[in-house]
Amino acid sequence: AAGVIQSPRHLIKEKRETATLKCYPIPRHDTVYWYQQGPGQDPQFLISFYEKMQSDKGSIPDRFSAQQFSDYHSELNMSSLELGDSALYFCASSLGFGETQYFGPGTRLLVL
Amino acid sequence: DAKTTQPTSMDCAEGRAANLPCNHSTISGNEYVYWYRQIHSQGPQYIIHGLKNNETNEMASLIITEDRKSSTLILPHATLRDTAVYYCLSYSGAGSYQLTFGKGTKLSVIP
């Protein structure tokens, strides 16, 4: 079965640079969620979108923004990167708002 | 969503059943019990969820007590590939759509 696709899988950036992470949900899934997992930590919710509208917001820094496009894929834009932004970033999708979330393999971001 | 409590770690012999407990004494009536697992920095993998009744799928069984204050995830025949951190979550999918991950249980399947 098709799963959530995330790209790139690995990304290395310098401090103060920008990064864009992409998420392609499972076909027919209309809701996307973003999570951040720092080293040795548990995943933390950042933001979610349903039908291209922001539906819920967690501990997402102001330097980050995200959107969902007409084909339901989503992009997480991260600016003025800091060392502390080094983490795994997971995208999840669900068929419908508030339904079971299925996670992608993640993007590992390293900020030097 | 209700706070859940799980043991920090557990060991299980390969081929035996792994029984992972979870306490969720403050769970409300519309909150489901969800289980996910994370195998070494991979994306969290959905296992199973339930509201009141016991549930079974190809991966595991979920036993929920009648008062819904606790539950047990059962992996019937644990393999080495089941070594992972298992997260028990409560989630209503109403009002807040974020999964709140606690510390989880580190399950080690021993050969």
The CA distance from A66 to A27, in Å, is 20
Q: Choosing among A4, A50, A103, A110, which should be mutated to test the B contact, i.e. which has the most B CBs within 10 A?
A: A103
Lowest mean per-residue pLDDT among A11-15, B2-6, B69-73? B2-6
Q: Please name the residues between 9 and 28 in chain B that touch chain A, using a CB distance below 8 Å.
A: none
Average pLDDT score over residue span B67-87: 97
Q: Give mean pLDDT, residues B61-90.
A: 96
Instruction: Find the CB nearest A42 among B34, B49, B102.
Output: B102
Q: What percentage of residues in chain A have a pLDDT greater than 70?
A: 100
Q: Give the Cα separation of B49 and A65 in Å (integer).
A: 31
Buried residues in B69-85 as b, exposed as e (16+ CB within 10 A): ebbebbbeebeeebbbb
Ranges A14-18, A78-82, B37-41: which has the least confidence: B37-41
A102–chain B nearest CA distance, Å: 6
Query: Tokens 């590939």 label which residue?
Result: B81
* Residues A54/A48, Cβ–Cβ less than 8 Å: yes
B-chain residues near A55 (CB < 8 A) = 97
Q: How far is CA A75 from the centre of its chain?
A: 7
pLDDT at position B1: 64
* pLDDT confidence tier of residue A110, bands split at 50, 70 and 90: very high
